[in-house]
Structures are given as C-alpha cells and as structure tokens.
Amino acid sequence: MKTLKLAILGIIFFLTGVAQAQVSLDIHIGSAPQWGPQGYDEARYYYIPDVEAYYDIQSSMFIYNVNGSWVNRSQLPRRYRNYDLYSGYKVVMTDYHGKTPYTYFPEHRKKYAKGYRGNSQNTIGNKPGKGNHNKENHKQGNNKGKKHGNGNN
C-alpha cells in the first residue's frame, strides 16, 4: 500500500513537472520584429515601399519579386543589404489576412511609392547601437497619426 501511494505521488509530481515544462517553453514564433512599428499586434504583413517587398510577421520572412516570381526569404535581396529597417517606413497591412499580399502589389506600389512616408512610426525595439532617437525619427512627426491599411484608406 505504501509503495502504491509513493508511485501515485511520483506520477503526480512527474505530470506536474511536465505541465510546467510545457508552459515554460513559450516560444514567440510569429512575433513582430524589433524594427516593426509599435501598436499593430493584429497585423500579419508590412509592405516596405523603399524595397518593394512585404514582410510576413508570422513566418519572419520577406516576400519580394525575383525575375517575375514572388519568393519568401529570411533576408532582403543583396542590393538592399544595407537598408535600415529601423528608419525605413513600413505600411502595416491591417486589413489583409491572406497568404499572398503581393496580389495587391500594383495598388501598393502606386499608393506607397519608393520614398513614401506616412505618419511617424516608433519601432518596437531600439536600433542596435543607436537607440530609438535618431534624426530620422525626429523628422517624421509626433506619432499621433492613423494606422495604415492595405491601401483602402
């Protein structure tokens, strides 16, 4: 009887430990990058006008056109390797929830041309080595603007 109680007690401790281990393994897959704009937890995609690319928050992949085909890559094309994602403008696509945001690329390209700057954006995290207080952020405004959708605003 004593052995049975010890076995049951051991199983309870084991299951409690497993449950705690499962809870503590909370990995943030699909969380917004540190260079993403603050306040858009519900969005899945950003459109980055300067590089004519999308960023899929859920998969942490950039989506851009290569020789007529849209590809998913973990980094921007080589020609944009020095592009500053912290200071570059991101159009947050709050109205689109599909898997192919580039379906609307002609509209996005027209409405948000290279060099487009909407309302001021503060990034989620600080730029490595620079903080969040560089000249570019100060020139962009007061962060009291509207959220951007998929081009229907």
DSSP bridge pairs for 32: none
What pLDDT shows up at residue 3?
A: 75
Give the span between the Cα atoms of 14 and 12, in whole angstroms: 5
The answer for residues whose C-beta is within 8 angstroms of residue 140's C-beta and 6 or more apart is 117, 119, 120, 121
Q: Indicate the pTM of the whole model.
A: 0.67
Cβ contact 138:90 at 8 Å: no
The structural domains of the chain, with segments of one domain joined by +, span 45-139
The tokens for 92 are 């947050």
- Could you say which DSSP state residue 31 is in? P
DSSP character at residue 43: -
Instruction: Please report, in tens digits, the pLDDT of each residue of the chain (153 residues total).
Output: 677 666 676 677 666 655 454 443 334 457 899 999 999 988 999 999 999 999 999 999 999 999 999 999 999 999 999 999 999 999 999 989 899 999 999 999 999 999 999 999 999 999 998 654 444 444 444 444 444 554 443
Q: Which residue has the tokens 């100060």?
A: 138
**CB neighbours (10 Å) of residue 136?**
15
Nearest to 56 by CA among 71, 44, 43, 70: 44
Q: How far apart are the first and last CA of the chain?
A: 72
Place of tokens 């903080």: 131
